[in-house]
Structure 1
């Protein structure tokens, strides 16, 4: 097993870089080109990684294409055995995965453990998917005819994954596709190539997955577009799987439409928590804090907008601010870390500018509000209006807004005042009321008396509008996304033709 925590040196030779994983082999990039992967907390070099060229991506696609027929032809139990073995190995290696998430992405210990807890669940769900029913017998208006709707693997899946939950979101992007008989090429984020891709390549290789079934190509920031273009335009790639920003997702979605190629998207969110006047105040504060500040707010499901009933607004805000001020930015190597570093300078500058602009336009900072590079303080804004960018844009950092709702309808209207539609929550003592309100919120996932940040691998994970849509993440949605359906009819008894 590789020591993924062994940090590369500034003068490391290209041959010492973390290599690409293509067709079951660890290989350097063509030309031995590399890029640097930095620890976001210290700025130190975490690893040097192979910077894939077009030739490398082509080789990975060719390997996946060649491996797919034999992989799909394996009996379901044989395919399932690889996923069970990977789950077993992951459990043995979980501590190293946790430590790499902390060092490479600035994850706190609790966040890293939460992310790792989802991995064995997803692997075992994938194993179970190999024997899930994927066909139907349909009635016919024609006597003696049998209609079958049958499904087969789509083929090769190109996967592009993000840095914020790199391990789980990379895995989710391809694991169900593999279970259904597809093969995959993963391009992880340049900010998390190790935890988001290369460690999984080792895990899958050690679990015995055949060569070419799963491939990983890493690139620096400048190479990302090249990989995306390859996945879109190469006819050997049949489906795209993308988790990331709405901006990039829109570009890929448009390109895929022009190429008549399906794409699975999970993008950003502007996720509200509705706190009704009968809510348990302390519980509501805890849920809002967790939803807003888990992993420094760098989660697509983070609670950007806390909508509180007028009757309890002042009491809620006082308690929420008091709790937030207790949590200062901390090195994620400390197990008590809650507010860790921002992933890179670009994102830190964006958050800083967004908060400063809101203040200039009249928003008030109740807590935090300042950068302490590489950190940003846990921030609460009030007096935010719909004209401000911070009302409409995903923050993707440790900041949230708290707004007053004059009525339940007012709260629902503000929750739905967004181009996004990923996650939401309703906090109330009246469970029936909470469920009825949940049905009126325009989001793919609504959690009553829980945080907006919640995922279970077997449940349908999806959003509306600028949050993606067009498919459901999870085993059942994967059947729709990663298999192609055919209608095959058989006329068992000759019938009278009209002429």
Structure 2
């Protein structure tokens, strides 16, 4: 039996062991072919409530264990991601429609997230405070208890493990709802890793499900912190529900990131950056460059080169051929992408490449002369579309880049890096890459957006993870019981 053999998880969810959920099951579908790869358990509200109650009971003993024990589990988890990387990658390719290189990146980052989380367990978690009285006064960070994690389909492994691993390392239990469409590579792979790594039972619950499960997780009284990655529309609903319950919620949401190409940029690498930024994983990435802002002096050549590259990128089943783009996740997403493209052409954009599809395979698309009001420019497309518009000055570039409800990532391509940094200072954004495109992630780097892209840096690096998954507690100690004039 292989590590992710369907016989292990068929019809099941994970709560320390593999159990049959009350809400039934759903097909695991390969988007490239439409074939059913198995059936995964589907969690409903009752399943979430039961898991959260178990997690709360199990968490206290876990928080009381030595940091060495928690770190050892995380190190073993990292090694297991490496040992079973190929099998997990095969599932990412087939279930998420990813090309093999992207799948390899996911397993690499998943292992690194576990190793960084292992180091997190031994980080200093407090500070001694000054006090006007004869006592010891200090602040310490304590686990929040149970962390609810909700992750999407596009980078299912990374976007789940980046919250699961640090939350566990810091002494919390986790109830994790992966997207039903990537239940295996984004959910059960994590469950199997921690099961094999020796995580005590009851601390990790993996419950694929739909909106009902997500709503139940946000509302559950045993879950004080929610870590959500997904669309801005869904994130707003999560944030509103959590706020009514006075829960802390970490939101990493959508984006419509700008890639700014200045007139002094070397166009050959600039076009490579632009193609990767919009077409990698079929554009189904929150950091995708949704707006190419190109100086008018080089825009014509940039569009011609980008369109030529798009026309030559192979699209197909990543499990059976050497392709650059695989399928979109489902027909609803394909139809939305195509509608945004056709509506933008109707609004005045010029179709320079692509704009066609077969089944779920959408050709990489370049739109030139795009009006800023065109749907594919103004909205997050989440598909392989590169809208290009021009500017004539740095001030105009900054104004265009900043004119968005989103603020996730920004790329600036120029030979003058100080000019690039000056330009970046004018654009509200959580991430800036000078002389690189907008899509990147590292386990050690703080990650998060501003405005409609989320509630700021809540993932990555020791400081952000400690802030996300612990509470601050003030403690004083003195030798004798205090006396008062009452």
Give the TM-score category using the shorter length. Answer: over 0.9
Contact 2:3 2:84 in 1 (8 A): no
Contact 1:293 1:398 in 2 (8 A): yes
Seen in structure 2, the aligned counterparts of structure 1 residues 202 and 402 have a Cα distance that, compared at 3 Å, is same
Q: Equivalents in 2 of 1:383, 1:241: separation in Å?
A: 39
Pick one of 421, 431, 434 that aligns with 2:407.
421
1:53 maps to which residue? Answer: 44
Q: Equivalents in 1 of 2:267, 2:123: separation in Å?
A: 43
Contact 2:293 2:389 in 1 (8 A): yes
Instruction: Answer yes or no: is 1:462 the counterpart of 2:448.
Output: yes
2:377 maps to which residue? Answer: 391
Q: Equivalents in 1 of 2:293, 2:302: separation in Å?
A: 10
- SS of structure 2 residue aligned to 1:468: coil
2:102 maps to which residue? Answer: 111
- SS of structure 2 residue aligned to 1:210: coil
Pick one of 121, 129, 132 that aligns with 2:123.
132
Which ranges in structure 2 are unaligned for 5 or more consecutive residues? none
Instruction: Answer yes or no: is 1:192 the counterpart of 2:177.
Output: no
Instruction: Answer yes or no: is 1:319 the counterpart of 2:305.
Output: yes
2:471 maps to which residue? Answer: 484
Instruction: Answer yes or no: is 1:342 the counterpart of 2:322.
Output: no
Q: Equivalents in 2 of 1:478, 1:404: separation in Å?
A: 39
Number of residue-to-residue matches in the alignment: 485
Question: Which deviations, in whole Å up to 9, do the C-alpha atoms of 1:286-316 show, x marking residues without a partner?
Answer: 1111111100000001011111112211221
Q: Equivalents in 2 of 1:26, 1:106: separation in Å?
A: 26
By how many angstroms is 1:130 displaced?
A: 0.3
1:120 maps to which residue? Answer: 111
Question: Which deviations, in whole Å up to 9, do the C-alpha atoms of 1:248-297 show, x marking residues without a partner?
Answer: 10000000000000011111000111111111111111111111110000
2:10 maps to which residue? Answer: 17
Pick one of 15, 19, 26 that aligns with 1:27.
19
Seen in structure 2, the aligned counterparts of structure 1 residues 183 and 400 have a Cα distance that, compared at 3 Å, is same
In angstroms, what is the RMSD of aligned CA positions?
2.0
1:23-102 to 2 correspondences below 5 Å: 24-30=16-22, 33-102=24-93
Pick one of 293, 300, 310 that aligns with 2:286.
300
User: Could you state the TM-score of these two structures normalised by the residue count of structure 1?
Assistant: 0.93
1:152-191 to 2 correspondences below 5 Å: 152-191=142-181
Seen in structure 2, the aligned counterparts of structure 1 residues 406 and 20 have a Cα distance that, compared at 3 Å, is same
Pick one of 237, 257, 265 that aligns with 1:271.
257
By how many angstroms is 1:55 displaced?
A: 2.5
Contact 2:446 2:457 in 1 (8 A): no
Which ranges in structure 1 are unaligned for 5 or more consecutive residues? 9-14
Seen in structure 2, the aligned counterparts of structure 1 residues 360 and 333 have a Cα distance that, compared at 3 Å, is same
Q: Equivalents in 2 of 1:47, 1:308: separation in Å?
A: 46
Seen in structure 2, the aligned counterparts of structure 1 residues 456 and 264 have a Cα distance that, compared at 3 Å, is same
Pick one of 427, 445, 449 that aligns with 2:431.
445
Seen in structure 2, the aligned counterparts of structure 1 residues 404 and 5 have a Cα distance that, compared at 3 Å, is farther
- SS of structure 1 residue aligned to 2:314: coil
Q: Equivalents in 1 of 2:400, 2:138: separation in Å?
A: 46
- SS of structure 2 residue aligned to 1:300: coil
Q: Equivalents in 2 of 1:319, 1:226: separation in Å?
A: 46
By how many angstroms is 1:110 displaced?
A: 1.2
1:237 maps to which residue? Answer: 223
Q: Equivalents in 2 of 1:197, 1:229: separation in Å?
A: 18
By how many angstroms is 1:235 displaced?
A: 1.2
User: Could you state the TM-score of these two structures normalised by the residue count of structure 2?
Assistant: 0.96
**The 10-residue stretch of structure 1 (291-300 or 327-336) with the greater mean CA deviation from structure 2:** 327-336
Q: Equivalents in 1 of 2:204, 2:231: separation in Å?
A: 24
Q: Equivalents in 1 of 2:40, 2:381: separation in Å?
A: 29
Question: Which deviations, in whole Å up to 9, do the C-alpha atoms of 1:67-104 show, x marking residues without a partner?
Answer: 10111111111100001111111111000011000110
Q: Equivalents in 2 of 1:378, 1:197: separation in Å?
A: 29
By how many angstroms is 1:54 displaced?
A: 2.6
